Amino acid sequence: MTIYHSVTELIGRTPLIQLHKLDTGPCSLFLKLENQNPGGSIKDRVALSMINEAERTGKLKPGGTIIEATAGNTGLGLALIAAQKGYSLILVVPDKMSREKIFHLRALGAQVVLTRSDVNKGHPAYYQDYAQRLASELPGAFYIDQFNNEANPLAHRTTTAPELYEQLDGRIDAIVVGVGSGGTLGGLQAWFAEHSPHTEFVLADPAGSVLADQVETGRYHDAGSWLVEGIGEDFIPPLAHIEGVNRAWRITDREAFTTARELLKTEGILAGSSSGTLLAAALKYCQAQTTPKRVVTFACDSGNKYLSKMFNDDWMRQQGLITRPQAGDLSDYIALRHDEGATVTAAPDDTLSTVLARMRLYDISQLPVLENGKVVGIIDEWDLLRHIGGDGDRFALPVTAAMTRQVEFLDKHAPESALHAIFDRGLVAVINDNDRFLGLITRSDVLTAWRNRLQQ
């Protein structure tokens, strides 16, 4: 086996797998596992290409600072390579980025600057405008600008495209891609136009992005919003050469996330949200064919960056992307159902230290205290503050020393107005079905349920 001497040597040459357990119609569907790159995504190729080219042209000096705007994966690739080469890195990212990506970036030594994801190009808080302004203000900084950097598509023209062609013996009828910066589409098109001009390019676009409109009508209007990370835009990236695409599929967040979850369950491949978009579009394309075709798409990045989001049932429910059957009672408002094993609880003899650890681990502020399956109290952060009072030794006290025993119980058949009376007193409602504990309802749970009703 080959021994490598730098993690950068592991970038590229990713495996290709044929999918057999999903409905691909008459077609053969292949998935290139770009999540096997060392930084976990296809953007490792781009990051290496852009840094190497900046060094070659003298735009990036030893010990310099790189600045970039990114929805995540380009940033991870840049952080990986910058750490290996000794560069400082500042990344401006929209605030919808998953926590896992942010933690990963910071662990690699990058400085992460969060900005708004609800504004469009031209607004000073828009992540690309923000990064460009920051680079102009910081002496010696280099704005790597993946959206206009020709070394971005160069990475795919020189590595990804010939790899695919070799892996499939030159027999590729269609390639399904998404567009973020546009480098993947632009680079692949350039290579295949020369070596396999019959190969068709199909766009997978998040619903709300303007790119599918441009493909279908040659113009676009204002963008909507979407939760998928890394692809979809509110403008046409010049590197994409979108005019070379004649077919596009719009994929909703629900379709993208559901497809990515299904890929894990059926094929055992843990891929990210953009991969769900690409795969959903590829399956639609394959199922629409009347003759067999060989179709390729990408697992753009690893799903381990989205475990707190699209692979988290509670987050999916909070976003209205998966729903339970409605019972028509207060149980419809419970976000974390006890009968589903989702409620985080405490026992009367647990220590206050244990309670605090659970609050921090699960990012919650109160726990019901259960004894023999019944709620005997509630403990929240204020109870901990009041009973510990700065004395660290009191963390060893049992929950019974600090919990609130005056619990507001409601039967699930109580009217919604009963919740408001409890919330007015700053409390949470404990919902029972007769004597069986179902879960808690907080003000946030009600607001989320109302919002999801509106979206449906």
The values of phi and psi at residue 358, to 5°, are -70, -40
Q: What are phi and psi of 247, to 5 degrees?
A: -145, 135
Cβ-contact 41, 35 below 8 angstroms? yes
Which residue out of 32, 43, 293, 305 is catalytically annotated?
43
Burial 163-173 (b: 16+ CB within 10 A, else e): bbbebbeeebb
Query: In what side-by-side order are the strands of the sheet with 429-433?
Result: 408-411, 429-433, 436-441
43 labelled catalytic:
yes
Residue 370 has φ and ψ, to the nearest 5°, of: -110, 140
Lookup: tokens for 284: 């639609």
d(Cα 341, Cα 254) in Å, to the nearest integer? Answer: 24
Q: What are the structure tokens assigned to 328, written together? A: 């028509």
What are the phi and psi torsion angles at 351 (to 5°)? -85, 160
Burial letters for 186-218: b for 16+ Cβ neighbours within 10 Å, e otherwise?
bbbbbbbeeebeebbbbbbbbbbbbbbbbbeee
Give the separation between CA 96 and CA 265, rounded to whole angstroms. 26
Nearest Cα neighbor of 403 from 376, 422, 425, 428 is 376
Distance CA 422, CA 441 (A): 10
Tokens of 112: 């992460």
**CA geometry: angle 218, 220, 223, nearest 5 deg:** 150
Bridge partners of 377? Answer: 369
* Helical axes 381-388 vs 352-362, angle rounded to 10°: 140
**DSSP state at residue 133:** H
Beta-strand runs (E) in 269-320: 294-299
Residue 231, both tokens: 């692809």
- DSSP string of 311-348? T-HHHHHHTTSS-PPP-SSGGGG-SS-GGGT----B-T
The 8-class DSSP code of residue 209 comes to B
Which value, in Å, is the radius of gyration of the alpha carbons in the chain?
A: 25
Which residues are part of the catalytic machinery?
A: 43
